[in-house]
Amino acid sequence: MPGYVTHLEGAIDGARLPAGTLRTLHEGRPILVRYDLERVARLVDRDALVHRAPTMWRYRELLPVEDDANIVSLGEGMTPMLDAPRLGAALGLDRLIVKDEGQLPTGSFKSRGQSACISMAKELGCTAVVVPTAGNAGGAMAAYAARAGMEAHVFMPRDTPEVNRREAVLCGATVHLVDGLIDDCGRLAREHADANGWFDVSTLKEPYRLEGKKTMGFEIAEQLGWRLPDVIVYPTGGGTGLVGMWKAFHELEALGWLEDTKRPRLVAVQSDGCAPMVRAFEAGERFATRFEGAATVASGLRVPAAVGDFLILDAVRESEGTAVAVDEGRILDWMRQVASLEGITLGPEPAACVGAAEELARAGWIRPDESVVLLGCGTALKYPHLMPDVEG
């Protein structure tokens, strides 16, 4: 089936760029994929999507791959939207929903982005890929690269959780341990990519992980009957999912698929141990300063600088949302709270969102009757060192 991509677009200046070639940044900033949405609207019947398999590839015409044969999939997508009445009651929210992305392949939402970008890497003729990671992206990339039969290299901080390291090795990737943080890994990945001809799939440094991540926005809409919630609470490291969902909502509106075009307010959540986006939001800035001394048990939030900072901050502001830094010292308590009240075993990144939701409900920023989706980006199972053990 032919693709619906019309062109690529520089996010910083709106420059129109040709699709169909391997690309990284434009003017040092991310590139967005644009589609012929009028054509998609004419040819795709929203209500016939129900007949498609429950994966993110049900939104086939809104994803960049041209040839179906290039789709690299492990069955990712259509994760459940779980009502959380007990947790909601504890937080003062009557309509709280957890989207449980821990049920994706490799246990986190990183699989969406990797499915899209490894598919495109395959379509564009890549045979080797490289990624820097703060945690889960490395394992996901290794899995999808294995699925595609590609050579894979992962650069990760030496103190990345053990499971992230081992799952990448299990999938046959070469893992390079780095004394530093993800941005240090990013520099090394870039150098090796240039030297060896590997494709660098750093988030937002190529156009396609964003496209995979945006499917969370499509799913939230479809699963809520093509209406959007009042608030989405999102754990923000590189921020690709937040930016992706915002892009998805624009596309859905352009397609005329939404029953009600009222957009959710986006909440970008970070730990006070690493909160560059929250600082920039509060300072009224469009670009963030690197957060020095970043330290948080939520390894996916340990991202001191993000190349898509302005996209995150633009989306949060356009949505009339906010950015919240939660108490690092309480993340393990929130993990335990959601697991013991709802049986949903969230990792530390989405656990931080529990704290943010509590704070915003208490402050009246979220009203008790508003619908709130907490983006449960990954499972606790990959963080055994953060889970309580048997006493005695």
Shortest distance, position 382 Cβ to its own copies, whole Å: 6
Minimum CB distance to its own copies, residue 313 (Å): 32
Query: Restricting to residues 74-103, which ones interact with its own copies according to CB under 8 A?
Result: 74-75, 78-82, 86, 100, 102-103
* Position 104 contacts its own copies (CB under 8 A): yes
Closest by CA to 328, choosing from 279, 377, 275, 272, is 272
Q: Quick check: 326 binds its own copies (CB under 8 A)?
A: no
- 178 or 278: whose CB is closer to its own copies? 178
CB of residue 48 to its own copies, shortest distance in Å: 11
CA distance 113 to 117: 6
CA distance 44 to 60: 10
Which residue type does 386 have?
L
Residue 147 lies near its own copies (rule: CB under 8 A): yes
H/E element holding 371?
strand 371-376
Joined together, the tokens standing for residue 155 give 């650069």
Interface with its own copies includes 305 (CB under 8 A)? no
The residues that bridge with 26 in the sheet, in sequence order, are: 29
Cβ burial of 256 (10 Å; 0-12, 13-18, 19+) is exposed
Under rule CB under 8 A, which residues in 165-184 are in contact with its own copies?
165-167, 169-172, 175, 177
Binding residues for its own copies restricted to 260-299, rule: CB under 8 A: none
Point out which residues pair with 200 in neighbouring strands. Answer: 130
Establish if 43 lies at the interface with its own copies (CB under 8 A). no
Taking the least distance from each CB to its own copies, the nearer of 130 and 316 is 130
Establish if 382 lies at the interface with its own copies (CB under 8 A): yes
Quick check: 24 binds its own copies (CB under 8 A)?
no
Q: Which residues of 329-356 are buried (b: 16+ CB within 10 A; e: fewer)?
A: ebbbebbebbbebbebbbbbbbbbbbbb
Q: Which amino acid is at 246?
A: W
Euclidean distance between CA atoms 115 and 112, whole angstroms: 5
Residue 145 interacts with its own copies (CB under 8 A)?
yes
Our CB check for its own copies shows the closer of 108 and 296 to be 108
Q: Which 8-state DSSP code applies to residue 330? A: G
Q: How far is the CB of 87 from its own copies (least distance, A)?
A: 11
Of the candidates 282, 283, 273, the residue with the CA atom closest to the CA atom of residue 323: 282
Q: Which residues bind its own copies (CB under 8 A)?
A: 50-51, 54-55, 73-75, 78-82, 86, 100, 102-107, 142-149, 162-163, 165-167, 169-172, 175, 177, 335-336, 339-345, 379-382, 384, 387-390
